[in-house]
Amino acid sequence: MTDTLSPPTIPESLKKAREDFPILKREVNGKPLVYLDNAASTQKPQSVIDAVTRYYSQENANIHRGVHLLSAEATAAYEAARGKLARYLNAADESEVIFTRGATESVNLIAYSFVEPLVQPGDEILITHMEHHANIVPWQLLCERTGAILKVAPIFDNGDLDIDAYLSMIGPRTKLAAAVHVSNAIGTVNPIERIIQAAKAKGVPTLIDAAQSIQHMDLDVQALDCDFLVFSGHKLFAPTGIGGLYGRRSLLDGMRPYQGGGDMIAHVSFDGTTYKEPPSRFEAGTPHIAGGIGLGVAVDYIQSIGRNVMQDYESQLIKYAANRLKNAPGVQLIGEPTHRAGAISFTMENAHPHDIGTILDTEGIAIRSGHHCCEPLMTRFDISATARVSIALYNNHEDIDALISSLAKVNALFG
Amino acid sequence: MKPDLKSLYRDTLLMHSRAPSNRNPLPDATTSAKLKNPLCGDLVSIHLKTENDRITQASFEAQSCSICMASASMLTEKVIENPIQEVQTFASSLIEMISDPEKEMSLPNNDLNALSGVKDFPSRIRCATLPWEALLAALAEKMKGKG
């Protein structure tokens, strides 16, 4: 107990991390900002902000089009970002990284372009009970269109996935096995390696929702051997409105376009149109160029700190936070998963999560209260909302200590 | 300026949220409506029993924060034994009073003034108005049935 309660030491490469994020210098309601809502969106380092500013002030032009210098520079910067992401995820080829608006659009793209042409009425899509709405609703829409069936693998009371149940549900009619890597609501880390292996053995394609895990862990798509992996840039210290997906090239090659328009075509005529190869086939229209460039710089930023360093430190900090919360008066943790990353959900005996959030906000502490876009998960725990604390690499034990002190104020008002 | 927690969580409001009035189902309700705030998941149902264009009984059920709970509790106390039409006018004007930052909230001798604290906490305005919106929905539903 004593070990987990002592605060983690900040490693050398993270000691100055807070200074890299200008927003952390601001005050909220007269108190220094304590930002513990990183599962919703992370803050941006100065280098990302500068890259976006530089693009608009020095390089702004459309990509993949003009012969002029600005367009060439913008194209090079945008494509360089794709390369950085491909190396970050250890994709076999840069063309396996497709830019989208974020994880949500990525799931919708995979549903439309890959899964839908494969399914017959009665075929199945498999997910878990702890998915974000972004990995539920696109499948419900697909089921409505095709007559496919959405199967949901159960979870245990501690917030762990019932992995045996999940694996047993991969059957002859399963057309996709999908799972969230790290739960945004309760922090559970799912055994995606086992899911991918089992699905692969049965010839079932896999989709991993890495929206949360990408900011906390080392991801290697070749080692994982997944077919698709989706993520959002703004949860990785990059701008909003940009994200992407990794897709195995052999699958991407056979997929139909998601949207039609400029930049995704090989040749257009009124007699028929042909499409470019991946990734362009799935990137119709002018993309969020500044966002893509910013995402590349965000990846550089994490590499400069070291993903393993970040992962080790964060896993100690989240344990420290879970332990302190668990021992705080009136606090009930929602989900105590065997492996946790990034987030902790809790409720309090006398105060609703919404009230907790407001009281903490007056102390400068930003947390999330609500259903976290995981209503089925909330229903599973027989609650309508939780208060959620979620960390990123710039958080420290003082942030957690400030949170715990402020919870005493919640008790004083509502206890 | 720092918003004042004491003005949000006034004693009257805390009292209603801790020990709400009429928080129960109403099996012989004439009309009901359930509303949800999709932002936070707060869920409130308003049940009404009406006779001759008057509300004779009112109750609510809620899974909600303290502000929504208190607002619903005060609502039931306020509307019982009042003509439907007056209640509708009052509910609409109250929602406007709470939501519009330009509007003052001063109801003579009324517990409902305790809800005015949300004006300094814009993310909590809907918590206060949700039960009143449900009330209006329940009454609209009743009118539809009549027509």
Per residue in A225-283, pLDDT (tens digit) is 999 999 999 999 999 999 999 999 999 999 999 999 998 999 999 999 999 999 999 99
pLDDT in tens, A362-397: 999 999 999 999 999 999 999 999 999 999 999 999
Catalytic residue annotation of A:
373
Q: What is the CATH number of the domain that holds A63?
A: 3.40.640.10
pLDDT in tens, A92-151: 999 999 999 999 999 999 999 999 999 999 999 999 999 999 999 999 999 999 999 999
A297 plus A348 within the same structural domain: no
What is the residue range of A402's domain? Answer: 2-44+306-414
Q: Which of A250, A272, A304 is the last residue of a domain?
A: A304
Q: What is the pLDDT of residue B19?
A: 95
CB contact under 8 Å between B41 and A30, yes or no, is: no
Of B5, B14, B63, nearest to A384 by CB-CB distance is B63
Q: What is the pLDDT of residue B146?
A: 65
Q: What is the pLDDT of residue B97?
A: 94
A248 plus A188 within the same structural domain: yes
Q: What is the pLDDT of residue A3?
A: 47
Contact between A307 and A217 under an 8 Å Cβ cutoff? The reply is: yes
Q: What is the pLDDT of residue A1?
A: 45
Q: Does the pLDDT value for residue A14 go beyond 70?
A: yes
Cα gap B44→A8, rounded to integer Å:
43
Mutate which: B8, B14, B40, vs A, most A CBs within 10 A: B40
CB contact under 8 Å between B39 and A370, yes or no, is: yes
CA atoms within 13 A on the CB side of A161: 30
SS3 A266: strand
What is the residue range of B41's domain? Answer: 5-146
Of A352, A371, A413, nearest to B64 by CB-CB distance is A352
ipTM: 0.89
A218 plus A70 within the same structural domain: yes
A312 plus A288 within the same structural domain: no
A270 plus A341 within the same structural domain: no
A286 plus A313 within the same structural domain: no
Contact between A21 and A350 under an 8 Å Cβ cutoff? The reply is: no
pLDDT in tens, B62-96: 999 999 999 999 999 999 999 999 999 999 999 99
CB contact under 8 Å between A354 and B8, yes or no, is: no
Q: What tokens were used for A94?
A: 């840069």
Distance from CA of A384 to the nearest CA of B (A): 6
Q: How many domains does chain A have?
A: 2
Distance from CA of B45 to the nearest CA of A (A): 14
User: Which residue reads 């990284």 in tokens?
Assistant: A97
A310 plus A397 within the same structural domain: yes
CB contact under 8 Å between A358 and B14, yes or no, is: no
Work out the pLDDT band at B109, boundaries 50, 70, 90.
confident
Q: What tokens were used for B129?
A: 């108005």
A-chain CB neighbours of B42 within 8 Å are 354, 384-385
Spell out which chain B residues touch chain A, with contact meaning CB-CB distance below 8 angstroms.
Answer: 2-3, 5, 8-9, 14, 39-43, 63-67, 69, 121, 123-124, 127
Q: How many domains does chain B have?
A: 1
A169 plus A79 within the same structural domain: yes
A-chain CB neighbours of B65 within 8 Å are 352-355
Q: What is the pLDDT of residue B147?
A: 46
Q: Which chain B residue lies closest to A350 (C-alpha atoms)?
A: B18
SS3 A296: helix
Q: What is the CATH number of the domain that holds A338?
A: 3.90.1150.10
B-chain CB neighbours of A370 within 8 Å are 39-41
A35 plus A151 within the same structural domain: no
Q: What tokens were used for A384?
A: 């309508």
Distance from CA of A231 to the nearest CA of B (A): 23
A8 plus A134 within the same structural domain: no
Q: Which chain B residue lies closest to A29 (C-alpha atoms)?
A: B2
Contact between A326 and A264 under an 8 Å Cβ cutoff? The reply is: no
Please count the residue pairs, one from chain A and one from chain B, whose beta carbons lie less than 8 angstroms apart: 51
A199 plus A315 within the same structural domain: no
Q: Does the pLDDT value for residue A22 go beyond 50?
A: yes
A136 plus A172 within the same structural domain: yes
pLDDT in tens, A280-312: 999 999 999 999 999 999 999 999 999 999 999
Q: What is the pLDDT of residue A259?
A: 95
Q: Which chain A residue lies closest to B43 (C-alpha atoms)?
A: A384
Q: What is the CATH number of the domain that holds B87?
A: 3.90.1010.10
Distance from CA of B60 to the nearest CA of A (A): 17
Q: How much is the average pLDDT of B112-126?
A: 92
CB contact under 8 Å between A354 and B65, yes or no, is: yes
Residue A317 belongs to what H/E stretch? Answer: helix A307-326
Q: How much is the average pLDDT of B32-42?
A: 88
